[in-house]
Amino acid sequence: MLKVLITHAVNDELITVNLSGCEVKYVRTGIGKVKATIRLMDALAQERPDVVINLGTAGTVDHNVGEVFVCRHFIDRDLQKVGCLNLEHETDSSSLLEEKGYCCDWKCEGVCNTGDSFLTETADSHGDVFDMEAYAQAQVCQMKNIPFIAVKYVTDKIGENSIKHWEDKLADARKGLSDFLNNCSLI
């Protein structure tokens, strides 16, 4: 039986996932890259999953509230800001997912831009969705050779009362993520 670890940042993002032929475990990572890294590392050691799926909410600049994005490419916007130091600030999880044959038919692809701040105004960053945990989780999984994918529900447009809109859209996000996953096959 395939072991799947579902990560979510806050309790309001938690949904029950039924994936045929899979044993599903959950971990709440907390908000931010440091908490997400520590809690994911602990969960990987304890659960030893075959694949990690990050479910959560995100803001956007160019897309619409209610859209769902499947992310395999991740950017660390904090490290991106100090690009003159030539620090690694992008990662892609596609090759390991493809090698294992996981999530191959999951469409709605997008780039997830991660940083340790809740964006309330447009920044000099690029991506389809903006969150606070996915890049860190992608890096941890890459280091541990575990396939990783993130599915993000857009709750808010950055710069348009983002925090309030995020809070108001959490129930919609749970339903949207649930609907998405219930129509997908892991393998």
Q: Is residue 143 part of a domain?
A: yes
Q: What tens digit of pLDDT does each residue of 114-153 get?
A: 988 877 766 677 899 999 999 999 999 999 999 999 999 9
Q: What tens digit of pLDDT does each residue of 37-50 get?
A: 999 999 999 999 99
Closest to 130 in 3D by CA, of 145, 138, 140, 120: 120
For position 123, what pLDDT does the model report? Answer: 63
Q: What tens digit of pLDDT does each residue of 51-85 get?
A: 999 999 999 998 999 999 999 999 998 766 666 56
For position 77, what pLDDT does the model report? Answer: 84
Q: Is the pLDDT of residue 90 over 60?
A: yes
Q: Work out the pLDDT band at 182, boundaries 50, 70, 90.
A: confident
Q: CA-to-CA distance for 81 and 111, rounded, in angstroms? A: 17
CATH number, position 120? 3.40.50.1580
Q: What is the pTM of this model?
A: 0.92
**Helical H runs in 48-169?**
77-80, 94-100, 134-144, 162-168
Q: Helix, strand, coil proportions of the chain in percent (round to 5)?
A: 35, 30, 35
For position 83, what pLDDT does the model report? Answer: 60
Q: Is residue 133 part of a domain?
A: yes
For position 13, what pLDDT does the model report? Answer: 92
For position 117, what pLDDT does the model report? Answer: 80
Q: Is residue 187 part of a domain?
A: no
**Host domain of residue 77:** 2-182
Q: What 3-state DSSP class applies to 110?
A: strand
Domain count, the chain: 1
